[in-house]
Amino acid sequence: MKNTIKYITIILFAAALSSCEKAIDLKLKDTTPQYVVEGVLTDEAGGCKVLLSQTKNFTDNNDFNGIAGATITIADDNNNVYPLTATSTGVYQNTTLKGSVGHTYSLNVSVNGKTFTSSCIMHPAVPLDSIYLVKDQLNNNKDGTPRKYVTVQYHDPASTKNYYRFVQYVNNRKEESILLDDDEFTNGQEVNTRLNFNNDNDNPARDIRPGNQVTIEMMSIDQAVYKYFYSLTNSANGDGNNAAPANPLTNIKGGSLGYFSVHTVVRKTLTAP
Amino acid sequence: MKTNRPAWLSMLICEITRTPLRTALGILMLLLITVQSHAQTQGPLDKTVTVTINNEPLKQALDKITAASGIKFTYNETVAKSTVKISINAKNQPLGDVLRKALAPHPFSFTVLDNEVLIKYDAGKVKKQVAADGKYTVSGTIKSKQSGETIIGASIKVTDANAGTSSNEYGFYSLTLPAGDHELSISAMGQKTIMMPISLSGNLKLDIALEDNSQLLQEVTIKAAPAGARDLASPQMGVEHLSIQETKNIPVLLGERDVIKTIQLLPGIKSAGEGSGGFFVRGGATDQNLILLDEAPVYNASHLLGFFSTFNSDAIKNMNIYKGDMPAQYGGRLSSVLDVKMNDGNNQKFGVSGGIGLIAARINAEGPIQKGKSSFLISARRTYADAFLALSKDSVAKKSQLYFYDLNVKANYVLGDKDRLFVSGYFGKDVLKAADIAGINWGNTTATLRWNHIFNSQLFSNTSLIYSNYDYKLNIKQDVNEFNIYSQIRDFNFKEDMQWYAGDKNTISFGVNSIYHTIKPGEISATGNSGIISQSLQNRYALENAAYVTNTWKATDRFTLTYGLRLSAFTILGSGDYYDIDADGNIIGSKHYTPGQEVKTYVNLEPRVAAAFQLNDVSSLKASYARNAQNLHLISNSNSGSPTDKWVASTNIIKPEIADQFSVGYYKDFSEHNYEFTVESYYKRLQNQIDYRNGANVFTNQPIETQLLYGKGRAYGAEFLLKKKTGRLSGWISYTLSKSERMIDGINNNQWYNARQDRTHDIAIVAMYKASDKWTFSANFVYYTGDAVTFPSGKYQVDGVTYYYYTNRNADRMPAYHRLDLGATKQLKKTAKFQSDLTFSLYNAYGNPNAYRIFFRDNKTDASRTEAVRTTLFTFVPSVTYNFKF
C-alpha cells in the first residue's frame, strides 16, 4: 500500500516535472572503508550464506569488495554453533544449515579484531496463493510494448504482525528493486499486491515479456529486517531532494552496515502469456 | 458663481513670492493692482456686506458672501477643500474688514484681482501662529480618488513639525497635534502628494482622496515608500513592503506576476528552489512562515508544485513581510509573517482587466455596488497547459489533466461614518491527473468577514471572523483496485484588534485571537481486492488563543520605542488517544480523552521589543528582540515540499517550537532620498525543532510521534540592500551572508549540522529601465550557494545491487545556483478608456543548467560504474503575456 502510494506519487510528480537529465562530474568525499555484513538463513538447504565486504569509493568499480579471513558462526537457541566456511572471497556458507520456524538464531562475525553480532527469529511461512500478471495502465516499456507487473495473492494471518519481502526473477534474472509489503493496512485480509518496480536504467532484460518465465519468492521477514530494507530503499539513489539520505537501520551490532535475516521462503512461477 | 483658477496660478504666485526680489516685484504688482482698485470709485473690498456665518467651512462661507455681496472669489483647490471653518457676523461692513477679521486666525490671505477677490493659502502665516491651548486629533481614511480603494501605509506628515503617522491596513490614520494651524503632506506609492492645510480647534475628521499618478508609477516602480519614508523613525525592523505595482516589471517564469517570487529577491528571503513554492526566511523552514490572505492563514501557498503562488496579482493590493521581528498582533510562526491584502474593488466605476499568457489567463472585474460607498471585486485565473495535452498522440497524456484555478471575491460596504464591512473569499484548486489511473487535487479555501469600527478619532477597531481550509485528495486506480486518501486542516478563527492613538507620543495596539483547529491527518478508503481496510486516523483538535498589547512610544523626536507582549495558549483537546513513546519511537502507553477534554495546554509569553534611534534626517539605527512560538508543524519528508506534507499540531510529546531573534540594523537614505541603503544583522535561537527519524515511515497509521526526533537550531546572518528608487533606471542589489544549523538528538551523532536551507551567499540584482513611454526593460540576476545536502561518501553491494554509504548530514553542497531573467513591457494603447500592454520575458536567459536534484545510479552504458546525474528543470523559458484594462 504505502509503496504503491509512493510509487504513484513519484510517477505523477516526475511526469509533471519532466526535466532534462545529465551525468555530471561531482567531487565526492572518500572515506575509510566500512564493513558490510549481509547474513541470510532460510528454511531451505543452501540458504545459509553470509557476505562480508567493505565499502568502496564512489569512483571505484561496482565489483563486490569481498573480505576474506573472517570467522563466522551462526548459533541456534539451543546453543548449537554452526561454522560457515569461505566459498569465495567474502562469501561464507554452511550448505547444510536450515532454520526452523519459531527459533532465534545468532550471527557472529569476527574479522581483523572486530566483532559484529546479530540475532533474528524465523517467522512461520505465509502461503503464496497465486501470482498473476497485470498490464500497467500508465507506462509502457521503453520499446513501446505493454509493461506488465506481477500481482501476488496471499492471505495475511490476523493474529500476528507480518512483514514480507518479494524477489522477482525474470528468466532467472534477479530484479534489483526491493519489493516489500506489510499488514499495517491489510491485517487478516485476502491481499493482492502489485509488485511495482522502476526500470530506471531501461534494461530490456528487466521487463516482463511474452514467453518469459517469472518466479516470485516470498519471504516472511522479521520487523527489524523490514525496517532495514524500507530505510535502504529510502536512500537508495542518494537523492537529496527527498529527506536527507542516511544509512539504513541495521539489526547488526558492532558498527557494520548490512543486516541479518532469518526467514522462510515460498515461491511460485508463471510463464508470461 | 465662483471662478476656479487652475492650480498653477497659485503655484506661480507662491513661486513669485519666494525670493526677495520676486517678492518685491510681486508686492509692487499687487500694490499697482490695489492702487488701481483704489482709483476706482469702489473696489470689491470696499463694498459693504451684511452676512452671518456661523462656523462654516471656508468655501461655503465664501459662497455665502458672494450671494450677499455679489463679489466673486477666486481660489484654488487647497482653499476649496480646506477644513478651516470661519464665523462672520457683519452688518454693512466693508468686505475687506470682514475678510481680514475672519481669516486672521487661519493660514489664508486675500488680494484683489480685477473685480474679484483672490483667496490664497499663506504658508507664512502658519509659522506665525502661536500654538493655541490643548491638543486635538485629526483622523480619517485615506483613499484613492479614482478607485475609492483605501490606501495602506500612506504617509501623513506635518510639514512644520517633526510629527507624522501612516495609515493602517484599512487606510485609517489618527494624528494628535497641538491646536492651531498645520499643513499636512500626504503621500503614498503611486499617488500624487498633496498638501492639506488644517486648523485644529477640536478633533477633526478628515478623509483624504489621493490622485493616482500613473506617470510617476512607471518611473518609480520600485519605490517602496515615498521618498525618505522608509520609516526611518519607526522601530519596526526586518520588514519589507511591496505594493503590487512594484512587481509589475520584474521578469518571472512564464510571465505570471507573482508576489512570492518577487519577495525572494529581497535580502533574507530565499527561494526554496525551482519546483518548490516555499521560501526560507532567515534560515527557517518553509512551514515557519505565516501566510495571511486578508487575515486568513493559507496553508499551502503554491500552485502547480510551486511554479506559481496562490496569489493572483490582479486581486492583490499590498503585502508586508516581517522577517521574524513580528509586531505583537502576529504570532504562531517562527520565521516570518507574509501579510497579503486583497483589493477592495473600485467604488467609483466599473472596470475589467485581464491578461492572456502562454499558459494562463486571468480576468478581473470590479465596480461599485453603491457609488462611493460599496464595491465588489471578482478575480479569476486558470491555466490551460492541459489544453496542449489533448493534442498529444499519447493516449495517457491525452487524458491527463494538469491545471489550477483560483478565484478571489470581495465586497465591502460602508455602513456609515464609523463602520465598514468587508467580506472576502479565496478558492483555489490544483488538479494533477494521469488519465484515469491516478490523480491528486489540493487547494485552499479562505473566507473572511471583517468589521471596521471607529469608536472615536483615536480608537480604531477591527473584528474578523475567518475560515481557512486546506485539503488534498489522492486517488489511485490500479487494476480492480481504487484507493482514495483524504487529508484536511481547517480553522475557525476570531480576531479582535484595536488601535488606540493615545496622544501624540503613544500608539497602543491590543487584541485577542482565538483559533479552533481541526486536523484530519488521513482517511483511506479502498475498494477492490488489495485487502486494504478503509480507515481513518483520529482527528486532532486544538484551540489556539492569544492576547497581546503593544505600545509605540515616541520618546523624543529622535528616539522611538515599541514594546509589547503576546501571551499565547495552545490547548490540545480530545477526543482522541495520546501516547507515551520511548526513545526508540515505540509506544509504551496511551490515554484516551473524551470530546472536548483538555489534553494539554502550552502557555508561552512572547515579548517583543524594538527601538529606533534616528541619527539625522536621513539615517537611523534600530535594534529589536522578538520571541515567537509555533504550535502547528509541517512534517515533510521532501525538501522541496509536496502537497501531501502533513500539518501536525503540538501534542503531549511534540512541544511548541520557539524562536528568539535578536537583530540590529542601520538605515540610510542618500542623494536626496533617491537611494536607500539598509543593513540588518540577526541571531536566532530555535528550540523544539522537529525532524523525521532516519528511516522514518511516512505512510503509517501509527502516531506520527513514533517517527519524529527533536532538537534545537541556530541561525545568524547579515543582510544588505541598496536600492535606487527613482529615475529611468531603478532597482536594487541585495546580498545575504548567513548560516543556519540544527542539532537533533539521534541525527548526525547529535552534532550540529547544516540545515538544508543553509546558504552562505545569496545575491539578487534587479534592474528596471524605462527607455521610452512605450518600452520598459528589466532584468534580474540571482546567485546563491547550493543547498546543504548529503551526498554518498562511498558505496557497497546488498543482494548484488549498489547502495550508497553516507557520513555527515548535509555536509555537501549542491552546485551554486545562478540565473539571469530578462523582461520587456510594451505599452500598446493608452487612452482614458482602454489600455493594454504586452509583456515579454525570458527566464534563465543564458540557459544555466541549474540542478533541481542530483541522484546516483549505475552508469547506463557501463554497469560496472556509478554516476551522478543532475536533473534540470528550466533553461531558456520565453513567454509573452497580453494585459488589458478598461
Query: Which residue in chain B has the smallest CA separation from A257?
Result: B805
Q: What is the mean pLDDT of residues B393-407?
A: 77
Query: Which residue in chain B has the smallest CA separation from A167?
Result: B799
Domain range summary for chain A, segments of one domain joined by +: 35-121, 125-246+264-271
Surface of B (373-412) touching A: CB under 8 A: 396, 400, 402
Of A11, A192, A242, the CB nearest to B638: A242
Crossing angle of the two packed helices B58-69 and B95-103, in degrees rounded to 10 = 170
Min Cα distance A266 → chain B (Å) is: 18
> Using the beta-carbon criterion (under 8 Å), do B402 and A26 form an inter-chain contact?
no
Interchain contact B437–A (C-beta under 8 A): yes
Interchain contact A134–B (C-beta under 8 A): yes
> Using the beta-carbon criterion (under 8 Å), do A241 and B396 form an inter-chain contact?
no
Q: What is the mean pLDDT of residues B412-426?
A: 91
Cell triple for B76: 484654488
Query: Which residue in chain A has the smallest CA separation from B584?
Result: A249
Interchain contact A51–B (C-beta under 8 A): yes
Phi-psi region of A255 (alpha: psi -120 to 50; beta: other; left: phi over 0): left
Residue B200: the pLDDT is 86
How would residue B642 be classed by pLDDT, with cut points 50, 70 and 90?
confident
Residue B804 has pLDDT above 80, yes or no: yes
> Using the beta-carbon criterion (under 8 Å), do A58 and B793 form an inter-chain contact?
yes
Q: Give percent of chain B with pLDDT exceeding 90.
A: 39
Phi-psi region of A96 (alpha: psi -120 to 50; beta: other; left: phi over 0): alpha
Residue B49: the pLDDT is 84
ipTM score of the complex? 0.93
Backbone angles phi, psi at B446, to 5 degrees: -135, 150
Q: What is the mean pLDDT of residues B562-588?
A: 93
Residues B686 and B747 in one domain: yes
Surface of A (165-204) touching B: CB under 8 A: 174, 176, 184-187, 189-194, 200-202
Task: Enumerate the residues of chain B whose CB falls inside 8 A of the CB of residue A24.
Answer: 854, 868-870
Which CATH number is A125-246+264-271's, of 2.60.120, 1.20.1640, 1.10.1060, 2.60.40? Answer: 2.60.40
Distance separating alpha carbons of residues B620 and B624, to the nearest angstrom: 14
Min Cα distance A68 → chain B (Å) is: 16
Over the stretch A93-151, which tens digit does the pLDDT of each residue have? 999 999 999 999 999 999 999 999 999 999 999 999 999 999 887 778 888 888 899 99
How would residue B230 be classed by pLDDT, with cut points 50, 70 and 90?
low
Residues B385 and B519 in one domain: yes
End-to-end CA distance of chain A: 27
Query: Which residue in chain A has the smallest CA separation from B530?
Result: A192
How would residue B672 be classed by pLDDT, with cut points 50, 70 and 90?
confident
Residues B39 and B115 in one domain: yes
Over the stretch B247-270, which tens digit does the pLDDT of each residue have? 777 777 677 778 888 889 999 999
Interchain contact B810–A (C-beta under 8 A): yes
Residue in B436, B527, B532 to test binding to A, most A beta-carbons within 10 Å:
B532
Interchain contact A1–B (C-beta under 8 A): yes
| Cα–Cα distance list, B865 to A59, A62, B804, B837, B860 (Å) | 7, 6, 13, 54, 9
Surface of B (138-157) touching A: CB under 8 A: none
Residues B140 and B122 in one domain: no
Closest among A177, A201, A50, A156 to B867, alpha carbons compared: A201
Q: Are B350 and B366 in contact (CB under 8 A)?
A: yes
For residue B395, say if its preceding peptide bond is cis, omega within 30 degrees of 0. no
Residues B726 and B697 in one domain: yes
Min Cα distance B787 → chain A (Å) is: 10
Q: Give percent of chain B with pLDDT exceeding 70.
A: 90
Residue B755 has what DSSP assignment? -
Average pLDDT, chain B: 84
> Using the beta-carbon criterion (under 8 Å), do B483 and A4 form an inter-chain contact?
yes
What is the topology classification, in CATH, of domain A35-121? Immunoglobulin-like (2.60.40)
Q: Are A139 and B437 in contact (CB under 8 A)?
A: no
Task: Return the SS3 of B23.
Answer: helix
Q: What is the mean pLDDT of residues A179-197?
A: 92
Residue B32: the pLDDT is 36
Which residue type does B388 have?
F
Residues B422 and B392 in one domain: yes
Residue B27 has pLDDT above 60, yes or no: no
- Work out how many domains chain B is built from and give that number: 3
Residue B469: the pLDDT is 95
| Cα–Cα distance list, A27 to A24, A58, A238, B34, B279 (Å) | 10, 10, 15, 91, 28
Of A20, A53, A227, the CB nearest to B797: A53
Residue B640: the pLDDT is 60
Domain end, chosen from B74, B109, B126, is at B126
- List the helix and strand counts (H, then E) for chain B: 10, 57
Closest among B712, B715, B714, B716 to B747, alpha carbons compared: B712
Query: The CATH number of the domain where B39 resides is what?
Result: 3.55.50.30
Q: Comparing A35-121 with A125-246+264-271, is the CATH topology the same?
A: yes
Residues B139 and B121 in one domain: no
Q: What is the mean pLDDT of residues A65-88?
A: 95
Of A8, A51, A247, the CB nearest to B805: A247
Alpha helices in B81-181 (DSSP H): 95-103, 123-128
Backbone angles phi, psi at B764, to 5 degrees: -135, 135
Interchain contact A81–B (C-beta under 8 A): no
Domain-embedded: residue B238 = no
How would residue B162 be classed by pLDDT, with cut points 50, 70 and 90?
confident
Domain-embedded: residue B437 = yes
* Cα angle A178, A260, A174; round to 5: 30
> Using the beta-carbon criterion (under 8 Å), do A2 and B698 form an inter-chain contact?
yes
Domain-embedded: residue B461 = yes
Interchain contact B527–A (C-beta under 8 A): no
Domain-embedded: residue B286 = no
Task: Return the SS3 of A216.
Answer: strand
Residues B86 and B166 in one domain: no
How would residue B4 be classed by pLDDT, with cut points 50, 70 and 90?
very low
Min Cα distance A169 → chain B (Å) is: 13
Over the stretch A141-155, which tens digit does the pLDDT of each residue have? 888 888 899 999 999
Residue B638: the pLDDT is 64
Surface of B (417-436) touching A: CB under 8 A: 432, 434-436
Distance separating alpha carbons of residues B298 and A6, to the nearest angstrom: 26
Interface contacts (A, B; CB < 8 Å):
268
> Among B8-22, B294-308, B374-388, where is mean pLDDT lowest?
B8-22
Query: Which residue in chain B has the smallest CA separation from A153?
Result: B530
Residue in B634, B848, B856, B867 to test binding to A, most A beta-carbons within 10 Å:
B856
Domain-embedded: residue B347 = yes
How would residue A9 be classed by pLDDT, with cut points 50, 70 and 90?
low
Residues B74 and B204 in one domain: no
Residues B36 and B171 in one domain: no
Interchain contact B475–A (C-beta under 8 A): no
Domain that holds residue B159: 135-212
Secondary structure of B152-167 in HEC code, one letter for each residue: CCCEEEECCCCEEEEC
Over the stretch B516-546, which tens digit does the pLDDT of each residue have? 999 998 888 989 888 888 888 899 999 999 9
Interchain contact A9–B (C-beta under 8 A): yes
Residue B612: the pLDDT is 93
Min Cα distance A199 → chain B (Å) is: 11
Q: Are A67 and A35 in contact (CB under 8 A)?
A: yes
How would residue A2 be classed by pLDDT, with cut points 50, 70 and 90?
low
Q: What is the pTM of this model?
A: 0.83
Task: Enumerate the residues of chain B whose CB falls inside 8 A of the CB of residue A33.
Answer: 794
Q: Are B634 and B286 in contact (CB under 8 A)?
A: yes
- Specify which of A258-272, B60-74, B81-95, B162-176 reaches the highest per-range mean pLDDT: A258-272
Residue A241 has pLDDT above 80, yes or no: no
Q: What is the mean pLDDT of residues B265-282?
A: 86
Distance separating alpha carbons of residues B659 and B287, to the nearest angstrom: 14
Interchain contact B285–A (C-beta under 8 A): no
Please name every residue paired with B451 in a beta bridge, in sequence order, or none if there are none. Answer: B421, B463
Domain end, chosen from B160, B189, B212, is at B212
Min Cα distance B793 → chain A (Å) is: 5
Judging by beta carbons within 10 Å of its beta carbon (0-12, 13-18, 19+), is residue B662 exposed, middle or buried? middle
Interchain contact A95–B (C-beta under 8 A): no
Q: What is the mean pLDDT of residues B502-514?
A: 92
Q: What is the mean pLDDT of residues B488-496?
A: 95
Residues B90 and B151 in one domain: no
Query: Which residue in chain B has the smallest CA separation from A230?
Result: B695
| Cα–Cα distance list, B150 to B73, B82, B158, B365, B755 (Å) | 33, 21, 21, 18, 42
Task: Return the SS3 of A182.
Answer: strand
Residue B483 has pLDDT above 60, yes or no: yes
Q: What is the mean pLDDT of residues B662-681?
A: 90
Min Cα distance B390 → chain A (Å) is: 15
Interchain contact B294–A (C-beta under 8 A): no
Residues B93 and B188 in one domain: no
Residue B226: the pLDDT is 44
> Among B131-135, B363-367, B419-423, B630-634, where is mean pLDDT lowest?
B131-135
Residue in B706, B798, B870 to test binding to A, most A beta-carbons within 10 Å:
B798
- Count of C-beta atoms within a 10 Å radius of residue B629: 27
Residue in B787, B871, B873, B874 to test binding to A, most A beta-carbons within 10 Å:
B871
Residue B470: the pLDDT is 94
Cell 507574509 -> residue: B338
Surface of A (220-249) touching B: CB under 8 A: 227, 230-232, 234-249
Residue in B751, B797, B809, B812 to test binding to A, most A beta-carbons within 10 Å:
B797
